[in-house]
Amino acid sequence: MSLRVGIVGISGFGGGEALRLIAGHPSFDLVYAAGDGSAGRRLVDRFPGVAPRLADLVIERWVPESLPPLDVLLASLPTGTSAAALARVPPEVKIVDLGGDHRYAEGWTYGLADIWPDRIVGRSRIANPGCFPAAALTALAPLLAEGLIEPGHIVIDGKTGISGAGRGGGDSRFGYAESNENLVPYGLLQHVHMPEIAGTIEQLSGGSAAGLVFTPHLVPMTRGLLATIYCRGRATTAQCLAAARRFYAGRAFIRVTDAPPQTKWATGSNLAFVSYAADPGRNLVMAMGVVDNLGKGAAGQAVQNANLICCLPEGTGLEGAPVWP
């Protein structure tokens, strides 16, 4: 079976990673590529290493009304730019939106694929989680589901590679001279990922996420994301690890490790690593989550969601090992 797939925003980092994954997917056939900044160019002009069979596919200007026949559309557009355009896509075309416009929006399913896969199977409109939520919520979910931590007053310290900021824009923080040997906090108190993190904490726990603090940082590496999360709870480290192993039993992309995870473990993959450290005497539980911000944090999870909505095995095309070193 070959399903016709399109990618919008293919010129960006998320779209480019989606291209890499779709190009090697045994059931997906890339037939449409759009990106206003590269419209009129062939894929090989933008991505010289692309597979020969895709080399001459011309990148088109994004016009929803002019789509060719498609089964699935992956949209990798900046938050705030996709809602109006995707509303004009024909309803028979399934959509996975990598941007932030549809997370917890009416008519869209939040695509946290390793936690709620059954909610995704067969749906037609999927909002891919953000990169920080992908790491933080994967680490928190087992503890919240078993009541090992309080849902309120959680503190999330997130660090991501520069590619997490996207390819476009003119912000000087993202240039080599500004980012090299530099650590930059941003989005203080009002980051765009806060609502989906809080909403998911409340769904998983049945309680209030009041007092949630989330501070992201840009670090001088290309890709990779680590969320270190501080919670209130009396559980032991062993109890947290056991809860995670039960919660993710049989889940192909989650690794529960005794040792604190490292960003390089996930590079180039759809894997997520979680671990825990707890001190019951201090009412403290630390949860750690690692993903590749372009993999599980973006295109990897998007392809996993595309597999689910097309009723394919969710790991199809995603079995590759991380890049090391």
The kind and range of the H/E element at 276 are strand 272-279
Residue 133 corresponds to which amino acid? P
**Host domain of residue 23:** 3-129+297-309
Cα(135)–Cα(261) distance, integer angstroms: 11
- Quick one: 42 and 158 in the same domain? no
Helices (H), the chain: 13-23, 43-46, 83-86, 117-120, 131-145, 176-179, 194-205, 237-247, 300-309
Q: Same domain for 147 and 8?
A: no
List the catalytic residue out of 131, 231, 240, 310: 131
Distance, CA of 55 to chain centre: 27
Burial string for 177-212 (b: 16+ CB within 10 Å, else e) reads: eebeeeeeeeeeeebebbebbbebbbbbbeeebeeb
Q: With 90 as the cut, is the pLDDT of residue 70 above it?
A: yes
Nearest to 205 by CA among 130, 279, 147, 128: 147
Q: Given a cut of 70, is residue 302 above it in pLDDT?
A: yes
Residues 60-81, mean pLDDT to the nearest whole number? 96
Give bridge partners of residue 225 from the DSSP assignment. 160, 291
Helix (H, G, I), strand (E, B) or coil at 15: helix
Pairing assessment for the beta strands 254-256 and 225-231 based on DSSP bridges:
unpaired
Q: What is the pLDDT of residues 194-225, one digit of tens each?
A: 999 999 999 999 999 999 999 999 999 999 99
What's 119's domain CATH number?
3.40.50.720
Q: 124-143: per-residue pLDDT in tens?
A: 999 999 999 999 999 999 99
pLDDT exceeds cutoff 80 at 88: yes
Q: What is the pLDDT of residues 142-168, one digit of tens each?
A: 999 999 999 999 999 999 999 987 765
57 and 124 belong to one structural domain: yes
In a domain, 318, yes or no: no
Q: Identify the pLDDT of residue 173.
A: 66
The answer as to whether 186 is a domain residue is yes
Confidence tier at 178 by pLDDT (50, 70, 90): confident
Sheet holding 72-75, edge to edge: 28-34, 3-8, 72-75, 94-97, 125-127, 109-110
The DSSP result for 189-235, as a single string, is: TT-TTHHHHHHHHHHHHSS--TT-EEEEEEESSSS-EEEEEEE----
**Measured distance CA(99)–CA(209) in Å, rounded:** 23
Task: Please check whether residues 58 and 109 belong to one and the same domain.
Answer: yes
Structure confidence at residue 169 (pLDDT): 53
* Residue 270 included in any domain: yes
* 196 and 284 assigned to the same domain: yes
In tens, the pLDDT along 248-299 reads: 999 999 999 999 999 999 999 999 999 999 999 999 999 999 999 999 999 9
> What residue type is 22 in one-letter code?
I
pLDDT, residue 165, reads: 73
Res 42 pLDDT > 70? yes
Confidence at residue 175, expressed as pLDDT on a 0 to 100 scale: 80
Tokens of 106: 């009416």
288 and 208, same domain (yes or no) = yes
Q: Is residue 36 part of a domain?
A: yes
Cβ atoms of 297 and 162 closer than 8 Å: no
Please compute, for residue 301, the number of CA atoms within 13 A of its CA located in the half-sphere on the CB side: 34
Confidence tier at 300 by pLDDT (50, 70, 90): very high
Q: Percentage of the chain surpassing pLDDT 90?
A: 92
Is there a single domain that holds both residue 147 and residue 108?
no
Above pLDDT 70, what percent of the chain?
Answer: 98
Mean pLDDT for 24-50 is 96
For residues 104 and 183, membership in a common domain is answered with: no
Rounded mean pLDDT of the chain?
96
| Same domain flag for 122 and 135 | no
Question: Do 27 and 108 fall within a single domain?
Answer: yes
How many independent structural domains does the chain possess?
A: 2
**DSSP SS3 for 251:** coil
Residues 34-43, mean pLDDT to the nearest whole number: 94
Residues 125 and 188 placed together within one structural domain of the fold: no
Is 319 inside a domain boundary? no
At residue 311, the pLDDT reads 97
Do residues 85 and 65 make contact, with C-beta atoms less than 8 angstroms apart?
Answer: no
Query: Would you call 311 a catalytic residue per the annotation?
Result: no
What pLDDT does residue 324 have?
Answer: 93
- Is the pLDDT score of 170 beyond 60? no
Q: What six digits make up the tokens of 105?
A: 């929006």
Residue 29 lies in a domain: yes
| Residue 324 domain flag | no
Residue 172 pLDDT > 80, yes or no?
Answer: no
Residue 1 scores a pLDDT above 80:
no
- pLDDT category, 174, cuts 50, 70, 90? confident
> What tokens were used for 80?
């705030």
Does 213 lie in the same domain as 186? yes
Residue 211's identity, in one-letter code, is G
What's the whole-model pTM score?
0.97
- Determine, yes or no, domain membership for 189: yes
CATH code, domain carrying 252: 3.30.360.10
